[in-house]
Amino acid sequence: MPASISADLTAAVRLLQSGQLVAFPTETVYGLGADAADPAAVARIFAAKGRPADHPLIVHLPGAAYLDQWARDIPPSAWELAEAFWPGPLTLILARAPAVPYAVTGGQETVGVRVPAHPLALALLRAYAQAGGGRHGMCGIAAPSANRFGRISPTDAAHVHQELGDAVALVLDGGACEVGIESTILDLSRNGMPPRLLRPGHITPEQIGSVIGERPELPEGMQADGIPRVSGSLDGHYAPRTAMRLAASGDLPRAIGEAQSQGKRCGLLLRGRLAPPPVHSLRRLPDAPEGYARGLYAALRELDQAGNDVILVEAVPAGPDWAAVADRLRRAARGAGTV
């Protein structure tokens, strides 16, 4: 490990143990980290993000061996999924262990946990554990996305600096995030009941089903009674400040023409090879779900900062391969112009 990275990790561990905030890369997005066992440190996350205190945070662990510190009544399926997908972009919702502070669970009796796959995130978590962890010796870092609440998630260290500035004691720079959208969230807290998908992501229901022998339920209402509140499940989330609309490929020329006839500068996000009329700014992403997801938030951020009056996004195909991307675009469009 290069000396500069080793020094940064040492500094990050000391800051976390003293209750400060450290941003770091994961394979999904950059996280805003704090000692998950310290309610005062967790409160700093909420203050920096402007996040409501009843919104739970995901706890990042050095490995599955630390799961017992954070959860109880862990079903066999959790261990099977951890073996299959950790480190990786899968968050499991489990019954909280007694020592887990309600500050990190949003007051709920469940906790979300995962082991990230980014090498720098894993190095930080393992160094943190080797240094004795946080409060009461617990080894977990709470880390929602390192941006203002409801805004576009950061997939590059520069995005964190733009969003949070001096509110973060240290930003570890691990380059651009490989996956680019937040983790799949799966609820396993229901004592023998079928698992439920609470947020789509890179890990699909089909992949989950192939490991545990049953496909998770896909509830339409994420805020219904008995369903844990989870990160990124609001109707409006991941949103640019600029107004944003989704349009089918065939409807885009008309939507552009209408906006331009009203004197609006259009930003356009396309996939594939559609040739649009001239617009104020244009970004094009791969016409494949993984490549599109990897570049989505950076593209939205660029269009949001380009002086557009409206961002028009070519709708993505229907179907399970595009479900996670479609979820993020739908929520971004609903929240656009309100954050």
Q: Which domains does the chain have, with CATH numbers?
A: 3-212 (3.90.870.10), 243-335 (3.40.50.11030)
Task: Answer for the pair 45, 119: CB distance below 8 angstroms, yes or no.
Answer: no
296-322: b or e for each residue (b if 16 or more CB lie within 10 Å)?
bbbbbbebbeeebebbbbbbbeeeeeb
Q: What is the pLDDT of residue 338?
A: 63
pLDDT tens for each residue of 228-262: 666 655 677 788 999 999 999 999 999 999 999 99
Counting residues of the chain whose pLDDT is more than 70, the rounded percentage is: 93
What is the spatial distance between Cα 245 and Cα 17, in angstroms, rounded to a whole number? 43
User: 226: pLDDT confidence band, cut at 50, 70 and 90?
Assistant: low
Is pLDDT larger for residue 66 or for residue 230?
66
Lowest mean pLDDT among 2-6, 86-90, 205-209, 307-311: 2-6
pLDDT confidence tier of residue 222, bands split at 50, 70 and 90: very low
CA 12, CA 56: separation in Å to the nearest integer?
A: 23
Predicted local distance difference test score (pLDDT) of residue 190: 86
Q: Is residue 4 very low, low, confident or very high in pLDDT (cuts 50, 70, 90)?
A: low
Q: How confident is the model at residue 284 (pLDDT cuts 50, 70, 90)?
A: very high
At residue 145, the 3 state secondary structure works out as strand
Please give the pLDDT value at position 223: 45
Q: What is the mean pLDDT of residues 213-224?
A: 72
Q: In angstroms, how far is the first alpha carbon of the chain from the final one?
A: 40
221 has a pLDDT exceeding 60:
no
Q: Which residues of 112-151 are buried (b: 16+ CB within 10 A; e: fewer)?
A: bbbbbbbebbbbbbebbbeeebbbeebbbbbbbbbbbbbb
Q: Among residues 302, 253, 262, which one has the least CA distance to residue 281?
A: 302
Mean pLDDT of the chain: 93
Give the mean model confidence (pLDDT) for residues 93-119: 97
